[in-house]
Amino acid sequence: MRTNPRKFNVPIASERIPWCDTGIFLNERPSFTLDPIFHSGAYYVQEASSMFVEQAFRQIEHSKNRIVLDLCAAPGGKSTHLLSLLDSSDLLVANEVIRSRVSVLDENIRKWGHQNVVVCSNDPADFSDLDGMFDVMLVDAPCSGEGLFRRDASAIQQWSVDNTNLCSTRQRRILADVWPALKNGGYLIYSTCTFNPAENEENLKWLAENNEVESIRIPLQENWGVEEIETDGMFGYRFLPHKVKGEGFFLTLIRKKDGSDSYPISKKMKSRFENMPKQFAEIRNWLSTSDSGFFAKSEFLIAFPESKIPVLNALSEQLRVISFGLPVAQFKKNDLLPEHTFALSVDRNPDVFESIELDLRDALLFQKKDEIRISSTTKGWLLVKYQGVPLGFVKNLGNRANNYFPKEWRIRMTLPELPEPWYRL
């Protein structure tokens, strides 16, 4: 699993994943459903090998105001990882072409708590007109899944030579479609969870034969067990399950050396989004950031980095944008109701709402959207926490507290006798 560094520190005694600063191994799988901070974006349960994306990203020349695309983003593991690696001046565009998977991507990003993100649902071909838009692209391509054989018997049953060939063809189509949107000098991180050379090394060779590229080497530690492979001057990194503590995986980092230098973004373009009504100006104090613009969308006030508004307008002209920024509050006439996603935000001003700590059972009852008793004498909106991690809002009426946990995210299982959380052992 990988922790959210803005919410939760890595437990000191944990076994670390060597290629990820916030990644740890657990000795056994606990019930994450019965851990309140899991539902609040304090950590993400993710396969260890795929966290190697961090090492690739660290080889990219650092600059501010980067626009980064995660093309095949659901369910959100690599997107949330990228959000932790990016600066606040950067923008992440998290895309998922399969509509049925977009909601879980959006949920996981909301829980992670950042506002410098846009979620969209588009085919790779839809990005081809965004010529030179992105500084970095991550393409975790759909593949034949050979790297999952050890843990997933169904992956073996679904494998066939025809499917590997189909995957290779589809991967090349995806890369060809999005390649124009990567700017000259931009970086492509390409990965799969398979071993098949047709989907990995041969795709690298094909990309180099048809474009001006530079292969970027990633420094390795010998004790990691990761293999560096070279094909005609192109370097890739292969994770074999009997050599690493993780599943099968492949990754490469490439720098583009042709194409457009940048996408022409007009700051004079008419915004597609309505500005926040002036009577709600107080909400600016709810965030600890200074570079946030505010929009009104359907009765919700949304914060988004002011400097990235022209980019958002340009993306909205070409793409099907599902969500953007941070929903801070809902407004009804002149009343403001703080949003659950605002409670989970890493940019929330801690001085705006009084907070109270819950024990484990009450925290889970809150996330089941059941009634809980609040000991505070303060009436109105209260932020509830568990182990110091914000969980959401209640409205204390004195004789009872209304629970504002989102109905669609609630825990549905019956609560058993509760174990101690893994991070307190």
| Ligand-binding site membership of 96 (annotated) | yes
For the chain, what is the HEC assignment?
Answer: CEECCCCCCCCCCCEECCCCCCEEECCCCCCHHHCCCHHHCCEECCCCHHHHHHHHHHCCCCCCCCEEEECCCCCCHHHHHHHHHCCCCCEEEEECCCHHHHHHHHHHHHHHCCCCEEEECCCHHHHCCCCCCEEEEEEECCCCCHHHCCCCHHHHHCCCHHHHHHHHHHHHHHHHHHHHHEEEEEEEEEEECCCCHHHCHHHHHHHHHHCCEEECCCCCCHHHCCEEEEECCEEEEEECCCCCCCCCEEEEEEEECCCCCCCCCCCCCCCCCEECCHHHHHHHHHECCCCEEEEEECCEEEEEEHHHHHHHHHHHHHCCEEEECEEEEEEECCEEEECHHHHCCCCECCCCCCEEECCHHHHHHHHCCCCCCCCCCCCEEEEEEECCEEEEEEEECCCCEEECCCHHHCCCCCCCCCCCCHHHC
Lowest mean pLDDT among 217-226, 267-276, 320-329: 267-276
| Residue range 228-264, pLDDT digits in tens | 999 889 999 999 999 999 999 999 999 999 999 999 9
| Residue range 57-106, pLDDT digits in tens | 999 988 889 999 999 999 999 999 999 999 999 999 999 999 999 999 99
> Comparing 125 with 151, which gets the higher pLDDT?
125
| Ligand-binding site membership of 359 (annotated) | no
pLDDT mean across residues, the chain = 94
| Residue range 372-413, pLDDT digits in tens | 988 888 899 999 999 999 999 999 998 889 999 999 999 999
pLDDT mean over 279-305: 93
Lowest mean pLDDT among 146-150, 352-356, 364-368: 146-150
pLDDT mean over 409-422: 90
| Ligand-binding site membership of 392 (annotated) | no
| Ligand-binding site membership of 70 (annotated) | no
pLDDT mean over 25-34: 92
pLDDT mean over 304-309: 94
Does residue 272 have a pLDDT over 70? yes
| Residue range 163-192, pLDDT digits in tens | 888 999 999 999 999 999 999 999 999 999
What was the pLDDT predicted at 158? Answer: 83
| Ligand-binding site membership of 87 (annotated) | no
What was the pLDDT predicted at 424? Answer: 63
Residue from 20, 120, 167, 193 carrying the catalytic annotation:
193
Does residue 421 have a pLDDT over 70? yes
Annotated catalytic residue 193: yes
What was the pLDDT predicted at 419? Answer: 80
| Ligand-binding site membership of 351 (annotated) | no
What was the pLDDT predicted at 420? Answer: 81
Q: Which residue segments constitute the domains of the chain, with CATH numbers given?
A: 46-256 (3.40.50.150), 269-338 (3.10.450.720)
pLDDT mean over 310-332: 95
| Residue range 342-361, pLDDT digits in tens | 999 999 999 999 999 999 99
What was the pLDDT predicted at 425? Answer: 42
| Ligand-binding site membership of 327 (annotated) | no
pLDDT mean over 142-154: 85
| Ligand-binding site membership of 73 (annotated) | yes
